[in-house]
Amino acid sequence: MDLNVEIKGSKIIVSWVPSGADYYRIFCKRDGVFCECAKIYDNNHIRFSLVPYGDNECFVQAVKDGVVIDESRKHQFKFDEIDLIYRHENNEEVKFFCSKYNGADGYRLYRDEKEVGFNGYKNSDKNFLTVTTGSETDFKIKPFVKDDNGKRNFLASSSAIDVTGNKFENITIYKSYNYNLFLSWNFSGDADGFLVYTQNSEKPIFETNDGLRHYLPLFDYKSSLKFIVKAFVNTIEGRVIIAESDKISLGLRRYKKPEVSLIIPAYNAEDYIARSIDSALASDFDNLEIIIVNDGCTDDTQKIIDWYAKNYPNIVSIIKENGGVADARNKGIEAAQGKYIAFMDNDDLMRPDMIGKLYKSIVKNDCDVAIAPLYRITDNGYTVHCNLPFMEDIPLDIDKYFEIMYTPGYYNCAIWNKLYKASIVKEHPLGLLKYEDVSWTPCILSYAKKFCFLKTPFYEWDRKTRPQTFGDVLAKMPDEDLFENRKQAMLFFVNNGNPEKIDYLKTVAKRRLMRYAKKSPLKDKYEELIEQIEAGKY
């Protein structure tokens, strides 16, 4: 079994090639003896904090049906960083943990006192200590040895860390389909995973090594129960809890006139749509209207939608004949009552603070569109898309977006990672085309004057739950059909976009078509179309 150890700053990531095991046991050497540090069920990698300074060694075992079926080689590596993590013990105290430095006499904590810089604050003879904090937010720690005169000689230093995070900002429980429960949390910090407990349980009812997870469906639990979520990081001595939520039980929310309308087109989604609706209901934005458009479903999707519409006054159900995702979105746009509109697909997720953060930014900056990166989720984990090189949370001219749109690294034209001013969207609905997002995104953005950008990914484009998407179907079309669909998408935004932005729209079409041409046997046809668009002969 292949094993790899990657050093990332003050952490290490141990990864291996899966071998069909039920779980994997990770062993690290502590005080000269190999000890089991973690069991991993749902990943082929693990991150460790607080790795001891100096020489280290680890290996992984694959276990199936209680028997070790494979074992990696023992991997030796040298670690020359001091890691520092923390948790809030209460509103006034913070507990720090740092990497062990064998042979150190002690560890000295420093705090940034702004006018004078970092000053020594407190010593400890252990690699952890608890301190009372004031206005200082930045800390670092240094292991030291003392000479014969008692003078401290420092051996290394951690990087400075900001201790304003590692908190649960929001945690909720709502009724889910069939009167189950849906637990959602919004964690600010850098966790390796989460543990969920009932109020009086000593053992978790759920655990995950997904540090970006933010929800848990709860089946067959009493609605009167209270739950607690704990965030942890992995260390070679076991998990360290870095935050604990308040106790939470089933909550109710009062909705007023919607400020934001979230539109979800649905087609034969009975296996996963409840999870998507639950993640939208868990939004920390109170005045959210959720419009679900049944695009001619032939399964039990509408049964699920009806349950939510009956139980939640902010759920709007629309039923129509099958006409495709663009047509379904347009029906939702027509019905939307909010001042702003967002979109979500019926198999994706959104983080609890997505709508609230985008809304706050778009209103504060008086913009037409608010944009953020998004996560793409596959079996290999999370990757960030649409991470644009703009200053955060300020009004920006839309021309700056067009200047980079479809340039290398900025190809993605996602419809769901944005919050739009409803008045613009209602005037310029989607075209009924195969490439509905590719055709509409440049079009709608051309009518915006200002946009704002946030650097945090909020939307989760889930390719793990349903790997086969309509985009994959399109990609398997005959080349001639594929060319025609792409042509119609380009001509849609060139012909229907803002005439004042025609030069930008032509450039965007050219960039996109050149990308298609590189991988197509119909390169000449793509190049001819580019020439026609540039000449205005379309």
Strand residues in 236-380 grouped as ranges (E): 238-244, 260-266, 288-295, 315-320, 340-343, 349-350, 369-371, 374-378
Q: What is the mean pLDDT of residues 403-412?
A: 87
Can you give the C-alpha Rg of the chain in angstroms? 26
Neighbouring C-beta atoms of residue 384, cutoff 10 Å = 12
pLDDT digits (tens, 9 = 90+) for 127-137: 999 999 888 89
Candidates 210, 230, 240; CA nearest to 46 is 210
SS3 55: strand
pLDDT digits (tens, 9 = 90+) for 489-522: 999 999 999 999 999 999 999 999 999 999 899 9
Neighbouring C-beta atoms of residue 288, cutoff 10 Å = 22
Share of the chain above pLDDT 90, in %: 87
Tell me the CATH architecture of domain 84-162.
Sandwich (2.60)
Q: What is the pTM of this model?
A: 0.92
Query: Phi and psi at residue 393, in whole multiples of 5°?
Result: 60, 45
The CATH number of the domain covering residues in 260-462: 3.90.550.10
- The two three-digit tokens of residue 201, written as one number: 């349980």
Q: Helices 436-446 and 325-335 sit at what angle, rounded to 10 degrees?
A: 40
What is the C-alpha to C-alpha distance for residues 150 and 479, in angstroms, rounded to an integer? 78
**pLDDT band, residue 218 (cuts 50/70/90):** very high
Q: What is the mean pLDDT of residues 323-335?
A: 97
Residue type, 111: R
Q: What is the mean pLDDT of residues 9-17?
A: 94
Residue type, 480: E
The CATH number of the domain covering residues in 167-244: 2.60.40.10
Separation of CA 439 from chain center: 25
Domain boundaries, given as residue ranges, for the chain: 3-79, 84-162, 167-244, 260-462, 477-535
Helix (H) or strand (E) holding 121: strand 118-124
What is the C-alpha to C-alpha distance for residues 526 and 334, in angstroms, rounded to an integer? 35
User: Residue 255 has what pLDDT?
Assistant: 87
Tell me the CATH architecture of domain 3-79.
Sandwich (2.60)
Tell me, yes or no, if the two domains 84-162 and 260-462 fold the same way.
Answer: no
- The two three-digit tokens of residue 502, written as one number: 């025609």
Helix (H) or strand (E) holding 401: helix 398-404
Is the pLDDT assigned to residue 35 strictly greater than 60? yes
Is the pLDDT assigned to residue 471 strictly greater than 70? no
More confident residue, 468 or 212: 212
